[in-house]
A and B are shown apart, each in its own frame.
Chain A
Amino acid sequence: MDDLNVKNQPVLKQFVPTPPRPPHKSERGILGTIRHRCFNSIGNSLLTLCVATVLFYLVKHVLDWAVFNAVFIADNRRQCMDISPDSACWAGVISWFNGLIYGRFPVDEQWRVNIGVLLGLVWLLPLMSKRIPLRNFILLSWIGLYPFVGGYLFLGGRFGEELGLVHGAMTCLALAFLAIIYANWILSALGKKGLNELFVPLVSRLVERRIHLLSFVAVWLLVALVIASGLSQVSLEPVPIERWGGLFLTFIIAGFAITMAIPVGVILALGRRSKLPVIHWLSMTVIELVRSVPLITVLFMAVTLLPIFLPADMEFNKLTQVLVAVCLFAGAYMAENIRGGLQAIPKGQYEAAATLGLGYLHTMVLIILPQALRMMIPNIMTSFISLLKDTTLVSIIGLFDIMLMARNIANDKDWVGMHTEPLVMISVLFFILCYSMSQYSLNLEKRLKVDR
């Protein structure tokens, strides 16, 4: 019917859209923007000048104190005072810098901390590249296996002696996995097959199903054995957990809390939405109980109360107890974030998944959670940032994290009473860390927003 109408009508004029023009010239360029925003009336011009003056003096004073008049080289606080009485004495912070970063970790063994942290970052590096296959798998392997490598390097010890056999075996498997990831990355860049395909011809002669999986396992075990034989020759000086400290300890606690927050949070959030009364009430109790109590109390309870409830022969070190407490605390908060995301998912998504035949687990893992988590990135990141800062509370129960190390400087006979500088230093450090986290979250949000 429509076609007929069109044919009977006279020839129409052709519509050509008017091309867009550039913005008005007063708003063009940096100068234009400044004039438009800051000097667009006499009142606003005066206001701009006033604010600029105040800012100038503020910045000048801070810079004078922190940089221009500050003392960087001195043997003790008295010398600092003599050189410049009203300015920062960074010499103290510099001389304690090692302690702030590593705590009381033996100086000769600190390379192990560096290597351990570096390995953790290197493991995550492939996630930055979009072309790497099985990125989620790499992330999972990091969560599941990296702690063993870290634990081995930080704790030290010899295989089968201080280091338990299970821990040792897991360390070798973890390192082997990392080696395979990188070998595959290089091989795929060269256009060759992955290392895990090495045994495919051999395996395919023996079995018919799951050839690729079996080949991967075979390669993995082989590499792990090679690494094990190498590591069994090495003996690392054991470092007790009590000597861990500084920023290093803060990283361990915050890193653990951040990694565990999502899985614990997801389980609690799904539990709270469960239709089974027992699971629902249990999750709700945990969430509400932990959320209603300050972190300090949770930490104290973990250190003082937990040992009372546990059987006498079960003994945990303080760090483990703190990790459990922080993890529970982070999980409870995360659960509510995630629940908010889950509620924002339209019912149609569940229905579409159901009509495709996806079950509860598939629906949640493939459809609902990826969307809910993406939607909540700003809130999740906010939780992570406050977690990182909250971990400084562990200094109160006597873990030598960066905060306690900083306060120790004031007790050093050379730097007696020096409180301000270490705290400023920590503030700057935390600002850098937290600000990069928030920038990363913005970046992540932008990258994942394509779909909306």
Chain B
Amino acid sequence: MTTSSGNLAQKAVTETAIKIDNLNKWYGDHHVLKDVSLDISEGEIMVVCGPSGSGKSTLIRSLNHLEEYQEGVVSVFGQPLSRDRQSHKIIHQTMGMVFQNFNLFPHLTVLQNCTLGLTWLRKMSERDADKMAMRLLDRVGIAHLATRYPGQLSGGQQQRVAISRSLAMEPKIMLFDEPTSALDPEMVKEVLDVMIDLAKTGMTMVCVTHEMQFARQVADRVVFMADGEIIEVGPPEQVLVNPQWDRTREFLQHVL
């Protein structure tokens, strides 16, 4: 495993947002995550890539406990997470997630999707929640669709709603699980543009994606995973242009 000393030194002053320590997960006999350790600093943009079945989605879903793991510790801002109430609270207050299939609530309008958490969990007044959600929708360029239902929107628009919905809860860390994989080629760009904008605001982001262009443009570090292991970690110019391992090179030849 290679580490990028230069990048870490740069970020040394900032706090560690997520610390993954020796994570191991099995599906029955299948060992999907093998001794995965990784530190993600506050404000860092981390892109996770790798072939399908390499465990990258499982890894990102383990961070907010959508998947259970058998061994290892995930800490968020220094707080080790477990299965208790306190950990759940930390997860929901600090992490937002965007899914491959958007997972918008189809029976609610775009605006209601975004205000749901604000009114029911934050106990915000309807007017304040609407105002905040509209600001976010405006930021991703779909304020004019606020009264529509998700089923009436294109894939790209739906994914932008999903991003606003997560942002409404004001997370410190955003997890993206293949946000553009279910999209038509014409719509990938509009979602990536939103993510690039978000990256510029200093949000900590962990993205599982196959968009190498995006990785090169905004990632601070790229993680390459295969067979449940982290093979390479480093700045994009190192991992993507000049990989140290044959497995990485083989993968890159397929996606680039």
User: A residues near B, CB below 8 A?
Assistant: 346, 348-349, 351-352, 354-358, 362, 366-367, 370-371, 374, 448, 450-452
Contact = CB atoms under 8 A, between A and B. Distances in A.
Interface residues of B, dominant DSSP: mixed
B106 A452 contact: yes
B133 to A, nearest CB: 13
A348 B120 contact: no
A349 B105 CA distance: 7
B95 A355 contact: yes
Interface string B116-135: 11001100000000000000
A300 to B, nearest CB: 41
A355 B92 contact: yes
Nearest to B65: A354
A366 B120 contact: yes
Interface in B80-127: 88, 91-93, 95-97, 99, 101, 103-108, 116-117, 120-121
Contacts of B96: 355
A452 B151 contact: yes
Contact of A451 (B66, B92, B107): B107
A450 B117 contact: no
Contact of A351 (B99, B104, B165): B99
Q: Which 4 A-B pairs have the closest CB atoms?
A: A357-B92, A352-B103, A348-B103, A451-B149
28 contacts: A346-B103, A351-B66, A351-B97, A351-B99, A352-B99, A352-B103, A352-B162, A354-B66, A355-B64, A355-B96, A356-B117, A356-B165, A356-B166, A357-B88, A357-B92, A357-B93, A357-B117, A357-B169, A358-B121, A362-B120, A366-B116, A371-B105, A371-B107, A374-B107, A451-B106, A451-B107, A451-B151, A452-B151
A356 B166 CA distance: 7
A357 B151 CA distance: 24
Contacts of A346: 101, 103
Given A352-B99, A354-B66, A356-B92, 19 more contacts: A348-B101, A349-B105, A351-B103, A352-B103, A355-B66, A356-B116, A356-B117, A356-B166, A356-B169, A357-B169, A358-B116, A366-B116, A367-B105, A371-B105, A450-B149, A450-B151, A451-B106, A451-B107, A451-B108
A356 B162 CA distance: 11
B150 interface: yes
A352 B150 CA distance: 14
Contacts of A451: 106-108, 149-152
Of the listed residues A348, A355, A358, A374, the one surrounded by the most CB atoms of chain B closer than 10 A to its CB is A355
A452 B91 CA distance: 31
A136 to B, nearest CB: 13
A371 B106 CA distance: 8
A450 B95 CA distance: 31
A409 B33 CA distance: 78
Contacts, number: 65
Contacts of B97: 351, 355
A50 B150 CA distance: 51
**Category for how many chain B residues contact A:** 20 to 34
Contacts of B149: 450-451
Interface string B144-178: 00000111100000000010011001000000000
Task: Determine which residue in A356, A370, A448, A451 has the highest number of CB atoms from chain B within 10 A of its CB, and name it.
Answer: A356
A98 to B, nearest CB: 46
Contacts of A358: 116-117, 120-121
Nearest to B88: A357
A370 B107 CA distance: 7
A448 B88 CA distance: 34
Contacts of B108: 451
A78 to B, nearest CB: 62
A408 B92 CA distance: 66
B60 to A, nearest CB: 11
Contacts of A357: 88, 91-93, 117, 121, 169
Given A366-B116, A451-B151, A356 B103 contact: no
B177 to A, nearest CB: 10
A450 B101 CA distance: 20
A450 B149 CA distance: 7
Given A355-B166, A357-B92, A452-B106, A348 B117 contact: no
Contacts of A352: 99, 103-105, 162
A349 B104 CA distance: 7
A2 to B, nearest CB: 9
B107 to A, nearest CB: 5
Nearest to A367: B105
A362 to B, nearest CB: 6
Nearest to B175: A355
A390 B168 CA distance: 49
A348 B104 CA distance: 9
Interface in B50-97: 64, 66, 88, 91-93, 95-97
A432 to B, nearest CB: 32
A288 to B, nearest CB: 31
Nearest to B117: A356
A106 to B, nearest CB: 48
B253 to A, nearest CB: 19
Nearest to B150: A451
Contacts of A348: 99, 101, 103
A352 B105 CA distance: 8
A315 to B, nearest CB: 45
Nearest to A2: B189
Q: Which residue of A352, A358, A371, A374 has the most chain B CB atoms within 10 A of its CB atom?
A: A352
